[in-house]
Amino acid sequence: MALIDLHTHTTASDGSLSPAARVDRAAARGLAAVAITDHDTLAGLPEARAAGAVRGIDVVAGVELSVADGDRGVHLLGLFLPDREGPLAEALAYLRERRHTRNRRILDKLRELGVPVEYKAVTALAKGAVGRPHIAQALLDMGVVTSFKEAFTRYLGVHGRAYVPKDKLSLARAVALIHDEGGLTSLAHPYILGLAGPALAEAVSRYRDAGLDAIEALYTEHSQAQTLEYLALARRFGLAVSGGSDFHGAAKPDVDIGRGRGNLRVDIGVLDVLRARRRKRELAGDGEKGLDPLGRPV
Ligand code: AMP
Ligand code: FE
Ligand code: FE
Ligand code: ZN
């Protein structure tokens, strides 16, 4: 059975492997396809695609965005993105710029707490989109904390003393940007919503109405019960399913590509279904969601 991984990070955001090394690792693990889904950037894609061509592994071009549903933060994956420059690339450039502002505010708070960190020391650790994991690494290098987990619990996480929220696109805006590029959207790691039962169904149905295409039911952190609930919701709301490890490398050392913590299996059939759905959307044309290839309502 051919296995794939549709959620991974590289040095273009907060992963520890270069795009080429990440594709090599996927190929060495025997995966048939891997998606590169860095936070707020497409910068890793050309190198990953080139490595994929050499290694004979299908590289899916993706991105991961933090979006807002009211006060709730939601992560959205965009998959099957093109190389061309356009409104999505412009939006991502803006989000990366806003990251610098946020990172500096985090460092201001750290300084007030008696932990001065130079921003240069943080950006030196990053090759692309700069974020909290790079600040966590700087704190680790300075000996202020002894683990990433401690950096997030004490300082950088939502309940940390130096927390600053991130600027986010609205879910509807992010979905539209990705659709306009011909991509599909998937609700990343739905467990972080912290919802189940009717409250989860209500949220998923609203996201479907906003144009969401898929739900990442298969994910490293999901229990079997959660996976079954997400799969049932996908069926109920006519959403496709996606799956991935969220491999970061050193930042999440116990999570391996394609396998998560050993319990993850995403079959290539998942990718086939997503591709078929994308083709259907393409044939139906922009803004005519809900039409079949002949323009009839479905
Ligand atoms: P940012 O995009 O700058 O807000 O950083 C978010 C990233 O930080 C996530 O994608 C994870 O890679 C990482 N992260 C978030 N929470 C934790 C945590 N508790 N421990 C380790 N890494 C985390
Ligand atoms: Fe990350
Ligand atoms: Fe995420
Ligand atoms: Zn991720």
Residue 291 in any domain: the answer is no
What pTM does this model have? 0.94
Query: CB of 161 closer than 6 A to ligand 1?
Result: no
Q: Are residues 258 and 135 in the same domain?
A: no
Please compute the mean of the pLDDT values over residues 31-36 and round it to a whole number: 98
Confidence of residue 5 (pLDDT cuts 50, 70, 90): very high
The total of other beta-carbon atoms located within 10 Å of residue 14's CB is 25
Q: How confident is the model at residue 296 (pLDDT cuts 50, 70, 90)?
A: low
Calculate the alpha carbon distances from 198 to 36, 204, 281 in Å: 32, 10, 29
- Looking at the structure, tell me whether residues 121 and 193 fall in a common domain: no
CA-wise closest residue to 5 among 215, 188, 218? 218
* Mean per-residue pLDDT of the chain: 94
pLDDT digit string (tens) for 156-186?
999 999 999 999 999 999 999 999 999 999 9
Tally of domains within the chain: 2
Residues 174 and 241 placed together within one structural domain of the fold: yes
pLDDT digits (tens, 9 = 90+) for 89-115: 999 999 999 999 999 999 999 999 999
14 lines ligand 1 (CB under 6 A): yes
User: What does the alpha-carbon distance between residue 117 and residue 265 come to, in Å, rounded to a whole number?
Assistant: 40
Question: Residue 181 is part of a domain; what is its CATH number?
Answer: 3.20.20.140
Q: How far is it, in rounded angstroms, from Cα 226 to Cα 229?
A: 5
Over residues 234-263, the pLDDT tens digits come to: 999 999 999 999 999 988 889 999 999 999
Ligand 1 proximity of 251 Cβ (cutoff 6 Å): yes
37: domain range?
4-84+170-284
Q: Is the pLDDT score of 80 beyond 60?
A: yes
In terms of domains, do 264 and 128 share one?
no
CA R_g for the chain: 19
Task: Say if residue 291's pLDDT is above 60.
Answer: no
Q: What is the pLDDT of residue 293?
A: 45
Interior CA angle at 147 toward 142 and 151, to 5°? 75
Point out the ligand 1 atom lying closest to the alpha carbon of residue 166. Answer: 4
Distance 291 CA to ligand 4 centre (A): 32
Query: Cα of 110 to ligand 2 centre, how many Å?
Result: 21
For residue 158, the ligand closest to its alpha carbon is 1
Q: Do residue 200 and residue 130 come from a single domain?
A: no
Residue 251 CA to ligand 1 centre (angstroms) = 9
Is residue 189 lining ligand 1, measured as CB closer than 6 Å?
no
